[in-house]
């Protein structure tokens, strides 16, 4: 499994070749509380890094999900709308949101590794 990279908006991306699997982090789902609804992007949608791509709603709040990289959505997690709690139970695994064909691999290098992200989150308290 390739290493995860993290954005300051609390999204993660796992890059395999030119594809990136994207979801929200454990920190993000803990802040949201119980996830009750997920709105996923359309397949074929093009997105720029840092732009809104999906929505996640919890019992506490609704929050936008931002794309950690530019590219085109090639797959969505079809199980998620029916089982949004998966975002809480397995945010870095089965709770993924979408897969992206990455347009610019250099953008991935601008993201944080796990250690840097952990330090970033500790600074938010």
Task: Please write the tens of the pLDDT for every residue from 48-84.
Answer: 999 999 999 999 999 999 999 999 999 999 999 999 9
Domain boundaries, the chain: 4-105
Query: pTM to 2 decimals?
Result: 0.95
Dihedrals phi, psi of 76, to nearest 5 degrees: -125, 160
Q: What is the pLDDT of residue 3?
A: 86
CATH number of 4-105: 2.40.50.100
Q: What is the pLDDT of residue 1?
A: 43
Which candidate, 89, 76, 72, places its Cα nearest to that of 35?
Answer: 89
Q: What is the mean pLDDT of residues 104-125?
A: 94
pLDDT category, 89, cuts 50, 70, 90? very high
Please determine, for residue 96, whether its predicted confidence score (pLDDT) is greater than 80.
Answer: yes
Task: Please write the tens of the pLDDT for every residue from 20-30.
Answer: 999 999 999 99
Strands (E), the chain: 4-6, 11-16, 19-24, 35-39, 46-47, 52-58, 62-66, 71-76, 98-102
Between 2 and 80, the more confident residue is 80
Dihedrals phi, psi of 31, to nearest 5 degrees: -65, -35
C-alpha Rg value of the chain to the nearest Å: 13
């Amino acid at each position: 499994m390739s290493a995860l990279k993290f954005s300051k908006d609390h999204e993660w991306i796992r890059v395999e070749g030119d594809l990136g699997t994207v979801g929200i982090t454990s920190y993000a789902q803990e802040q949201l509380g119980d996830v009750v609804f997920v709105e996923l992007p359309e397949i074929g949608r093009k997105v720029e890094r840092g732009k809104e791509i999906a929505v996640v709603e919890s019992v506490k709040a609704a929050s936008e999900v931002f794309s950690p990289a530019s590219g085109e959505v090639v797959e969505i997690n079809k199980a998620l709308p029916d089982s949004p709690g998966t975002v809480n139970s397995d945010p870095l695994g089965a709770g993924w949101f979408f897969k992206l064909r990455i347009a610019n691999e250099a953008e991935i290098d601008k993201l944080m590794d796990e250690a840097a992200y952990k330090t970033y989150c500790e600074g938010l308290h």
